[in-house]
A = this chain, B = another copy of it.
Amino acid sequence: MHRNNIARSGGRASSARPRLTEVAELAGVSYQTVSRVLNDQPNVRPATRRRVLEAMEQLGYAPNSAARTLASGRSLTLGVVCYDTALYGPATALIGFEQAARAAGYSVNIVSVETLTQSAILDAATRLAQQGVSGIGIISPAVSIGDAFAHMPPHIPVVSLWGPADGAIPRVVVDEAHGARLATEHLLALGHRSVSIVVGPEGHIGPDVRMRSWRETLAAHAVSPPPVLHGDWSAQSGYAAGLALADDAEVSAVFVTSDQMALGVLAALHARGRRVPDDVSVVGFDDLPEAAFFIPALTTIRQDFNQIGRRAAGILLDAPQPPAQGKNAPLVVPVTLMHRASTAPPSKLR
């Protein structure tokens, strides 16, 4: 004997975690049978199964997952690459992902990336792959990560949340286009002659789609689009954009593509003495829990972040084999307009 396990070698029930063989012993069967019960395979008599389960219960047995994955090749673990998960949306999606994974008996490993570059994401995903996860979710509102996954560790299904369409990996997105249309049409329907826009960082997927849809909606109403303002999701950047908007007397309606930025816009408009919604109407995007308590309460587009996470996990769980990763249609989560106090008809119409 080379490694003496003191804890176990001494007499009976040790404090260490019981093994499969101990369960078998207690139940009076072979360890094989216990394994059968564990992986609920057929050919175990109900009475035997019951005895085994009782023995497990009694010993407080839980299978050693390392041994399990080693022997079986299946890890029962999913990985998530997080970026900026401190934002409400991604954080909520992460929780949703975990909930769905846990419900299916999987655990969740996370790796965060500081920057949203292809190589950083690829590194993170590789880490997870080496950890042996059986699927990877990527919370990545960036445009071009598709290529990165050409060199991904082979045979691990991947799904992106708010991901780009360029890659060949499946993705879960919200109906960005519809949301932008809802927002823009809402403002037009109120009587605004035009709708300005504050979009997220260039190169991110969501903003791009929202902007395109906004432009199309304006075009459908024969409105030529005003200049586009860019932000980086932060309230700070929204404030900067808001100052620019405030100085333009033509602006009577703004679609801000995130609630955080909308908060900044509201602050800037207030600082410049432009009243909302009297002088300027503002629509956000996300429907943060706080949005209803902005001053004034923010009209915004709600997206169900938790569901995005759940759906993403679901895709991985349904695809233990890498799915047909064609240019398959993304899973689209619907959005709805929450009408609150920050939007009203332009003053001249009242």
Interface residues of A (CB under 8 A from B): 15, 62-67, 69-70, 75, 77, 82, 85-88, 91-92, 94-95, 98-99, 102, 107-112, 127, 130-132, 154, 234-236, 238-239, 260, 263-264, 266-267, 270, 289-290, 292-295, 297, 305
Residues of B within 8 A of A70 (CB): 64, 66-67, 70
Q: How far is the CA of A266 from the CA of B293 in the complex (A)?
A: 8
Q: How far is the CA of A97 from the CA of B77 in the complex (A)?
A: 20
Q: How far is the CA of A21 from the CA of B232 in the complex (A)?
A: 49
Residue of B nearest to A92 (CB): B86
Q: How far is the CA of A99 from the CA of B236 in the complex (A)?
A: 25
Q: Is the CB of A235 within 8 A of B95?
A: no
**Most chain-B Cβ atoms within 10 A of its Cβ — which of A67, A270, A293, A297?**
A293
Q: Is the CB of A108 within 8 A of B110?
A: yes
Q: Is the CB of B102 within 8 A of A95?
A: no
Q: Is the CB of B75 within 8 A of A85?
A: no
Q: Is the CB of A95 within 8 A of B99?
A: no
Residues of B within 8 A of A95 (CB): 82, 85-86, 112
Q: Which 10 A-B pairs have the closest CB atoms?
A: A62-B130, A91-B91, A235-B293, A66-B69, A66-B70, A267-B293, A86-B92, A86-B91, A235-B290, A66-B66
Q: How far is the CA of A99 from the CA of B290 in the complex (A)?
A: 28
Q: Which of B86, B108, B154 contacts A15 (CB 8 A)?
A: B154
Q: Is the CB of A109 within 8 A of B112?
A: no
Q: Is the CB of B75 within 8 A of A98?
A: no
Q: How far is the CA of A64 from the CA of B95 in the complex (A)?
A: 28
Given contacts A66-B70, A266-B295, 13 further A-B contacts (CB under 8 A): A64-B70, A65-B66, A70-B70, A85-B91, A87-B91, A94-B110, A95-B112, A102-B112, A108-B111, A234-B289, A235-B290, A263-B294, A295-B295
Q: Is the CB of A132 within 8 A of B295?
A: no
Q: Enumerate 17 A-B pairs (CB-CB under 8 Å) in ascending A order.
A: A62-B130, A64-B70, A65-B66, A66-B66, A66-B67, A66-B69, A66-B70, A67-B70, A70-B70, A85-B91, A86-B91, A86-B95, A98-B110, A99-B112, A236-B289, A267-B294, A295-B295
